[in-house]
Amino acid sequence: MTSPIRIAPSILSADFARLGEEVRAIDEAGCDWVHIDVMDGHFVPNITIGPGVVKALRPHSEKPFDVHLMIAPVDQYLEDFAAAGADIISFHPEAGAHPHRTVQTIHALGKQAGLVLNPATSLDCLDYLIDDLDLILVMSVNPGFGGQSFIDTQLRKIEAIRQRIEATGKDIRLEVDGGIDQTTAPKAIAAGADTLVAGTATFRGGADHYAANIRGLRGG
């Protein structure tokens, strides 16, 4: 696999009182994407932010906004997040009745589409969707909260998805989110991940440490 490793810090672990400054800080520290976790208190047991906050953050970085929607139903909010400045919109197949239609809608809005697999979600949902995806996100924790421990069984899932991606011959990013740190990042990369979401591991120690934290996640 020749794709460079991309680091997408999750602002879920940032200082919410200083979100604009935090986004600028991780941008300057060398992140590739800004990962934005959107939770509704219904699909997952937590409430975070909406499209208004995404719009407010957009002027603070030109890096791609990687927006992970943990909301249901998801379709009615796609246009709002696209208009707010999302570049990549990822959703869970359980969050709507017609995942293929959701992918079509995201593409029609001019955005990249990602599908998110929870730890217990079967790979069967990829059978008739993978060719239309720009990104597959493997949750290596159960979604809803930051700071959880990496679930090792997801390494097998990452390996299996990498094989499926290679079989398509398409440039589909394979992202992993949950419990990523300097210990688990190399395992996820070895299994086939090319994009890592890291909240706690990126924001640990304050802004003076962000660049070193990001380098450490890349293995550098």
- Asked whether residue 52 is marked as a ligand-binding residue, the answer is no
Whether 200 has a binding-site annotation, put simply, is yes
Catalytic residue among 32, 37, 66, 194: 37
144 is in an annotated binding site: yes
192 is in an annotated binding site: no
Q: Is 75 annotated as a binding residue?
A: no
Q: For residue 1, what are the CA distances in angstroms to 137, 154, 174, 197, 207?
A: 17, 19, 11, 19, 32
Catalytic residue among 32, 40, 66, 177: 177
Q: Is 37 annotated as a binding residue?
A: yes
Kindly report the backbone phi and psi dihedral angles of residue 108, in degrees, each rounded to the nearest multiple of 5, phi listed first.
-65, -25
Query: Residue 107, annotated ligand binder?
Result: no
Q: What is the DSSP string of 93-160?
A: GGGSS-HHHHHHHHHHTT-EEEEEE-TT--GGGGTTTGGG-SEEEEESS-TT-SSPPP-TTHHHHHHH
37 is a catalytic site residue: yes
Which residues are annotated binding-site positions for substrate?
Answer: 10, 68, 144-147, 177-179, 199-200
Which residues are annotated binding-site positions for a divalent metal cation?
Answer: 35, 37, 68, 177
The residues assigned a catalytic role are 37, 177
Which residues are annotated binding-site positions?
Answer: 10, 35, 37, 68, 144-147, 177-179, 199-200
